[in-house]
Structure 1
Amino acid sequence: MALAAAGIGIYLLFDQMGIGFKAPLKQIQERGTIRMITANTATSYYTYRDSPMGFEYDLAKAFADHLGVALEVIVPEWNTMFDVLNSGQGDFIAAGITITESRKRIALFSDPYMPVQQKFIHHKLKFGIKNLEQLAGRTIYVRKGSSYQERLKELKASGIDLKIQPLMYVSTEEFIRLVSEKKIKYTIADSNIALLNRRYYPDIKIGLPIQEEEYLGWAVKKTNEGLRDQINQFLEVAEETGILAKLYEKYYGNVKIFNYFELKKFHERIKTRLPEYKKMIKTESEKYGFDWRLIAAMVYQESHFNAKAKSRTGVRGLMQVTQDTARLMGIKNRLDPKQSVKAGVKFFNIMHKRFDDIPDPRQKNRFALAAYNVGYGHVRDAQAIARQQGMDINKWTSLKKALPLLTQRKYYEKTQHGYARGQEPVHYVERIFTYYDILRQKGH
């Protein structure tokens, strides 16, 4: 009944706006589901701990909610997505696809929602290109039927003697991995895909753009103008209400925080150092219901999985526990790995519970991590500053702006806990979530 009521409400709203439903959109309402055609990639759709994720998935789910229907996900072979769409098996394609003239001949596209640019990808030990003419003589691997192949054909037709090696069933992410492992020399990737995958494969180099800026869009059948119009309305609402910004922050917000040597070390140490501490991290994480990968990322940020680590401020061990915290958490030896992890996770849980007023668990994790780093009082002070500036005090995007203001007298002199190096907890949290994402994507 609730779903039907929602559908009637939406119908009346759109009817009042003079839009009306065309047949395919009405069928979606009557069916109670909308069918998303997508790709199983890090940028579009994947499952983690039995939960669906991905920028495109989350945006499509918000669209389904906007229409008052359930979302059904269809994942065909990549090169058959438009066939699946035009055969009526799915309602729209949301797979991070660029809007191109050739694609516009076979489908209707929504308004654009993200700019991207095709980039030349090579191994960091290989020479890149300084101009497009230097593509001559190089063999470039791309997915067959992709916009990359289309662009390379244009360059070849312009007189650049390059060799295109199109493969049918290999994803862009897989080509990036092959470049990283030096199994192929070159590929092309959209900038968003390249930036996201660089953290998983730090040996790649994102090189020269080979195309002007393009845009991503969703596609519907040529005859389905009604659904296209509703997608455009939704994207406008998503822009105005911050849904798009929130999702971009979730999936792409820290992709530009990249230090090759830091990430390279992390990839090495999850093989050489993490196994020694993995069991104890899992045990302590499970006590409090935390994802062990988040705690492992936290341990790495604190000590690089070095049980004897000591900072310039005197904190020590895997979790860089202070003497006061060690006493409060009931441990005697901060250099003992088990005791350190036990104390650190217990203290993190205390911080976590103190933010029970934050409803979103993902936001709550970030606030608790910031408090672990800079102190609970400073985080609350930053929230007070955010409130004064009209920001949502329960969102990390607000706290990222407010915490650094604690270094400025005009702000911190009005707070309860005073000055703090507010940029440090921002970097701390962002790095932890970068490491956390790598651990999830690597299947740990």
Structure 2
Amino acid sequence: MILLSLNGCSQPSTLQEIRNEGVLHVITRVAPSIYYEGRGGPTGYDYELAKLFAEELGVKLRLRVADDNTEVLSVISRDFAHIGMAGLSAQPLFDNQYKSLPTGIEAQSIVVYNRDVERPESLSDLAGERLHLVSDSNHEYQLQAITNTASGVSWQVHPGLDAAGILARLETGELSYAVVSSNELELNHVFFPQVKQAFALGDAMQLAWLFPINQDDSLVNAAKAFMEKMRENGTIAQLAERFYGHLDHLNYVGARTFMHHVENRLPKYEGLFRENASVFNMDWRLLAAIGYQESHWRPNAVSPTGVRGLMMLTRNTANYIGINNRLDAEESIQGGAKYFRIVHEKIPDRIAEPDRTWFALASYNVGFGHLEDARRLTTSAGKNPDRWMDVKEFLPLLAQKEWYKKTRYGYARGHEPVLYVQNIRRYYDVLARVMKPTERVAAAPSSFVGLEQSADGRSNMDSPEEDAEHRASLPPELGMVPPTL
């Protein structure tokens, strides 16, 4: 009987072992596309998914940060972690080394170059040149697959560099040509305006989580079911919008101009942004980003419609918030911070960050009433009116008669608030990377100081009584129109 019992015993599955220990072990590397320490703590597309997966399993997420992909792959191949997050797509050579699971983000290997050298149209134009790439990437596999059709192309792998390091050397002209992943290029391109995109080496492929080949399928299957659930409930789409949905609105000229102004104009007003942001409980870099979108940090800016000053306040708005001289930088920044706090507090508390801030920015630009119209259109279409990625699809419809005639507040140039929010998000991203945050900001559960948390909200709208109360408490025009620059 004892022998039968022993023979009948089986090892617990990988999933059961994880639940028994209460820990999901993940190995990753630092990259804005995967994992990094944000102002509100760890974040990143893959990290947020992994955190949700651990919660789904009812266990803790334990993260180990590797120096590079070489270390990530080594740890996974030796079965020293349950999941590897390396920002790689599944490759044929992985078949006998790892199990993989797509994460919802697609990327291509992109040839990039310093704009002072001639643009290559294909690999044949790079005969005699050297491409530079990070180690253990998708790029070397792509290059090896097509070398037969492009003789004379060589490449050098840089084990000690990440994508940002490659791009930095391309920016200075130390390197002329390189290959980077399209998603990492999108996230970093604004910092390297001298870098230009040439062509892709192949089709876009989904990036994947990697699992040890010796694991049984219990964890992979659980992760597949989790990913499918996240796709169906819109979480993957929302995460993709959160990390990638605002990256295409700062071109070469805009990026160079912005960085020039960060160095030369921002220092004059940084103290005012910090001081007033602290008073009104917001991240000073967000306030500065709004100011840049409004006036490019010019205190004497005036638009054709009469809004003026660094924060481009309308006369009625300035009167409402007690600002006497809109062309005075200190008064203008104080007024902008105060008014944004008013607008932000009107956004329903159920809408979590960072979406609540994106809604507040849209309201700051186009007006609360028009924003509510767009949210009602969103509800009518069966989408979530408390989620920015849904509402921004419907704001542009306010410029079309067939749609705005159905709304309470009528016509609005609905494309403008979408671009307005996109631009400020991008400016904020840059400032968050290059500038320190305020030393101490009073936190509140629904505060917009961090911009790091996001969650779905309920879909019920404000009542007509609440709308009427809001209209009675605010000046007639809520939008702040950017000047002609």
Alignment of 1:159-198 (within 5 A): 160-198=151-189
Instruction: Give the 3-state SS of the residue equivalent to 1:208 in structure 2.
Output: strand
CA deviations on 1:76-118 (whole Å, 9 max, x unpaired) are 1221112212333321012211211222221111246332211
Counterpart selection for 2:307 from 309, 312, 315: 315
Residue type of the alignment partner of 2:426 = T
- 2:287 aligned partner: 295
Alpha-carbon distance between aligned partners in 2 of 1:125 and 1:329, rounded to the nearest angstrom:
50
Alpha-carbon distance between aligned partners in 2 of 1:22 and 1:263, rounded to the nearest angstrom:
54
CA deviations on 1:169-198 (whole Å, 9 max, x unpaired) are 111221012112222111101111112211
1:157 Cα deviation after fit:
5.1
CA deviations on 1:338-397 (whole Å, 9 max, x unpaired) are 000011110110001111334302111111111111111111121122122222111111
Instruction: Give the 3-state SS of the residue equivalent to 1:52 in structure 2.
Output: strand
**More deviation in 139-148 or 294-303?**
139-148
Instruction: Give the 3-state SS of the residue equivalent to 2:24 in structure 1.
Output: strand
The question of 1:63 aligning with 2:63 is answered no
The question of 1:349 aligning with 2:341 is answered yes
The question of 1:26 aligning with 2:16 is answered yes
CA deviations on 1:291-315 (whole Å, 9 max, x unpaired) are 1111111000000011111111111
Alpha-carbon distance between aligned partners in 2 of 1:366 and 1:111, rounded to the nearest angstrom:
29
Instruction: Give the 3-state SS of the residue equivalent to 1:95 in structure 2.
Output: strand
Alpha-carbon distance between aligned partners in 1 of 2:25 and 2:63, rounded to the nearest angstrom:
6
Counterpart selection for 1:52 from 36, 42, 48: 42
Alpha-carbon distance between aligned partners in 2 of 1:176 and 1:384, rounded to the nearest angstrom:
44
Instruction: Give the 3-state SS of the residue equivalent to 2:131 in structure 1.
Output: strand
Instruction: Give the 3-state SS of the residue equivalent to 1:97 in structure 2.
Output: strand
Task: Please report the TM-score for the alignment, with normalisation by the length of structure 2.
Answer: 0.84
CA distance 1:159–1:312, shift in 2 (3 Å): closer
Alpha-carbon distance between aligned partners in 1 of 2:329 and 2:376, rounded to the nearest angstrom:
37
- 2:27 aligned partner: 37
Q: Does the CA-based 8 Å contact 1:135-1:160 persist in structure 2? A: no
1:332 Cα deviation after fit:
1.0
1:159 Cα deviation after fit:
5.4
- 2:219 aligned partner: 227
Residue type of the alignment partner of 1:331 = I
The question of 1:405 aligning with 2:379 is answered no
1:229 Cα deviation after fit:
1.3
Q: Does the CA-based 8 Å contact 2:79-2:214 persist in structure 1? A: no
Instruction: Give the 3-state SS of the residue equivalent to 1:193 in structure 2.
Output: helix
**More deviation in 421-430 or 90-99?**
90-99
CA distance 1:24–1:309, shift in 2 (3 Å): same
Alpha-carbon distance between aligned partners in 1 of 2:32 and 2:292, rounded to the nearest angstrom:
23
Alpha-carbon distance between aligned partners in 2 of 1:234 and 1:77, rounded to the nearest angstrom:
28
Alignment of 1:24-423 (within 5 A): 24-78=14-68, 79-111=70-102, 113-156=104-147, 158=149, 160-224=151-215, 225-423=217-415
CA distance 1:211–1:305, shift in 2 (3 Å): same
Instruction: Give the 3-state SS of the residue equivalent to 2:125 in structure 1.
Output: helix
Instruction: Give the 3-state SS of the residue equivalent to 2:224 in structure 1.
Output: helix
Residue type of the alignment partner of 2:224 = N
Instruction: Give the 3-state SS of the residue equivalent to 2:188 in structure 1.
Output: helix
Alpha-carbon distance between aligned partners in 2 of 1:253 and 1:428, rounded to the nearest angstrom:
13
- Residue ranges of structure 1 left out of the alignment (5+ in a row): 1-20
CA distance 1:160–1:430, shift in 2 (3 Å): same
CA deviations on 1:1-30 (whole Å, 9 max, x unpaired) are xxxxxxxxxxxxxxxxxxxx9522111111
Instruction: Give the 3-state SS of the residue equivalent to 2:113 in structure 1.
Output: strand
1:31 Cα deviation after fit:
1.4
Q: Does the CA-based 8 Å contact 1:22-1:226 persist in structure 2? A: no
Which structure's residues are more often helix, by fraction?
Answer: 1
Q: Does the CA-based 8 Å contact 1:301-1:432 persist in structure 2? A: yes
1:119 Cα deviation after fit:
0.8
Alpha-carbon distance between aligned partners in 2 of 1:414 and 1:232, rounded to the nearest angstrom:
42
Task: Please report the TM-score for the alignment, with normalisation by the length of structure 1.
Answer: 0.92
1:271 Cα deviation after fit:
0.6
Alpha-carbon distance between aligned partners in 2 of 1:318 and 1:42, rounded to the nearest angstrom:
31
- Residue ranges of structure 2 left out of the alignment (5+ in a row): 1-10, 437-485
Alpha-carbon distance between aligned partners in 2 of 1:339 and 1:218, rounded to the nearest angstrom:
50
Residue type of the alignment partner of 2:357 = N
CA deviations on 1:395-417 (whole Å, 9 max, x unpaired) are 11122122111112232223222
Residue type of the alignment partner of 1:104 = D
Q: How many residues align?
A: 425
Instruction: Give the 3-state SS of the residue equivalent to 1:113 in structure 2.
Output: strand
Q: Does the CA-based 8 Å contact 2:285-2:431 persist in structure 1? A: yes
Instruction: Give the 3-state SS of the residue equivalent to 2:156 in structure 1.
Output: strand
Alpha-carbon distance between aligned partners in 2 of 1:276 and 1:97, rounded to the nearest angstrom:
43
Instruction: Give the 3-state SS of the residue equivalent to 1:390 in structure 2.
Output: coil
CA distance 1:150–1:415, shift in 2 (3 Å): closer
Where relative contact order (Cα < 8 A, 6+ residues apart) is larger, the structure is 2
CA RMSD, Structure 1 to Structure 2 (Å): 1.8
Instruction: Give the 3-state SS of the residue equivalent to 2:26 in structure 1.
Output: strand
1:50 Cα deviation after fit:
4.9
